[in-house]
């Protein structure tokens, strides 16, 4: 059985959310963990006050077919499936005790990741009860830190 190598990485995450009237951009610079296993990538990082999700942890899984699963846990819980050309219904819950289903229609996924870092981009449309909510774009840049590799 092979060991999955986990590395410390710098993550630059730029999120653009737009609806019919407004466009909001948030940038997050953080340190996280990256692991790779047979063409699959996993990133883990903590959200910050700047994103509005302080106290939440994010795990991003990218499989060999460029399907992205975004799992947020903590004050807000979500499990979004982002797959180019497809629509998935995903559950989203808040720290106020209520949850709802969202439709996630993915327009584009561009994966330029390697074991050493790289870029990931995805764009998707969110709806609630088939009513348009927003268009979301995420640009993620990954760079290795100088820390040693950790085996898990």
Query: What pLDDT digit, counting tens, does each position of 3-41 carry?
Result: 567 899 999 999 999 998 899 998 989 999 999 998 899
Locate 134 and state its tokens: 């927003």
In terms of C-beta density within 10 A (0-12 exposed, 13-18 middle, 19 or more buried), how is residue 21 classed? exposed
Q: Specify the number of domains making up the chain.
A: 1
C-alpha of 62 from chain center: 9
CATH number, position 113? 2.40.128.20
| 41-83 tens-digit pLDDT | 999 998 766 666 667 899 999 999 999 999 988 877 889 999 9
In terms of C-beta density within 10 A (0-12 exposed, 13-18 middle, 19 or more buried), how is residue 17 classed? middle
Q: Which domain holds residue 55?
A: 5-151
CA atoms within 13 A on the CB side of 110: 10
| pTM of the full structure | 0.85
């Amino acid at each position: 059985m092979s060991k999955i190598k986990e590395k410390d990485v710098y993550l630059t995450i730029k999120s653009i959310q737009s609806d019919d009237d407004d466009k909001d951009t948030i940038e997050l610079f953080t340190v996280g963990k990256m692991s790779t296993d047979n063409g699959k990538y996993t990133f883990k990082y903590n959200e910050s006050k700047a994103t509005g999700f302080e106290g939440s942890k994010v795990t991003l899984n990218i499989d060999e077919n460029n399907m992205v699963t975004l799992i947020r846990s903590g004050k807000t819980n979500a499990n979004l499936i982002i797959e180019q050309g497809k629509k998935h219904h995903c559950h989203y819950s808040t720290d106020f005790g209520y949850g709802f289903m969202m439709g996630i229609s993915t327009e584009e996924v561009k994966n330029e990741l390697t074991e050493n870092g790289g870029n990931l981009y995805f764009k998707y449309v969110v709806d609630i009860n088939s009513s348009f909510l927003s268009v979301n774009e995420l640009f993620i840049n990954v760079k290795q830190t100088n820390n040693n590799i950790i085996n898990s």
